[in-house]
Amino acid sequence: MAILTKGKGILQGTFRKWIVCLAIFISGSPTVFSQISESDIKAMFLFNFIKYVEWPQTQGVTGFKIGVVGKSQVFESLQKVIAQKTKDGRKIELVSLSEKEFSSCQLVFISRSAESSGEEWARTYQGSGVLVVSEESTRSGKWAAINLVTIENKIRFEINQSAAKAGGIKISSQLSSLAVSINP
């Protein structure tokens, strides 16, 4: 026990995190992790992406809007994740976008079901300070700033810096360092 209370540095914080993770795995990991769906994980990724992206300053914008294009369980999962959350003191709002509806958003998620219109959506938001994220897209290499992918049964992401720049946003190097691939 003396090891846990000794010192207040990084090692202590890392050790605590390791103990917590170990406790979760020992105390019924199948039930804990079986309750988290793929869409829940993707929603958590989307929510965390907003912490590592720099948007242009906009006057008079009172909320932070996330738009979802196409049918996806990620929409329901995002509703749970963003409930009562804020971004820079602004309330986060979730909207469903249809092909005929354009809404000013800061993040637009193109679901797998809407991949065929993804490039068109990306063009619509080009230069508007919008982060465009695709889901498991095989064609998003040129138009999505971030593409969620599944590798070895784990959700990961790819970053396209030129698409981010075209969208008018800047992705932090911290987020880039976690990506499985980065296209300049």
CB neighbour class for 52 (10 Å; exposed up to 12, middle 13-18, buried from 19): middle
Total residues found in the chain within this entry: 184
Mean per-residue pLDDT of the chain: 79
Q: Residue 176 and residue 163: Cα distance in Å, rounded?
A: 14
Of the candidate ranges 54-68, 118-132, 139-153, the one whose mean pLDDT is the lowest:
54-68
| Tens digits of residue pLDDT in 74-110 | 999 999 888 877 787 778 889 998 766 667 889 999 9
Check the CA dihedral 133-123-83-61 and report its sign: positive
Residue (of 105, 101, 108) closest to 122 by Cα position = 108
- Of 1.25.60.10, 3.40.50.300, 3.40.50.2300, 3.40.50.2000, the CATH number of 36-183 is 3.40.50.2300
Residue 171 pLDDT class (50, 70, 90 cuts)? very high
Q: Are 67 and 103 in contact (CB under 8 A)?
A: yes
The first and second tokens of residue 114, run together, are 């809407």
What does the pLDDT read at residue 178? Answer: 92
Task: Quote the pLDDT of residue 22.
Answer: 43
Pairwise CA distance, residues 159 & 22, whole Å: 31
- Numbered ranges of CATH 3.40.50.2300 in the chain: 36-183
d(CA 100, CA 108): 15
What pLDDT sits at residue 34?
54
Tokens (6 digits) for 41: 């994980």
CA distance 104 to 76: 20
Q: Is the pTM of this model over 0.85?
A: no
**C-beta of residue 169 within 8 angstroms of C-beta of residue 128:** no
Percentage of the chain beyond pLDDT 90 is 40
Task: Report which DSSP code applies to 91.
Answer: E
Contact call for residues 75 and 107 (beta carbons, < 8 A): no
The more confidently predicted of residues 115 and 160 is: 160
Tokens of 184: 């300049």
pLDDT in tens, 2-43: 444 444 444 445 545 555 544 444 444 444 445 789 999 999
Taking alpha carbons only, the member of 183, 178, 68 closest to residue 132 is 68
pLDDT at 146 over 50: yes
- pLDDT band of 45, cuts 50, 70, 90: very high
pLDDT at 141: 63
Q: What residue type is 148 in one-letter code?
A: L
Can you give the pLDDT at residue 3? Answer: 41
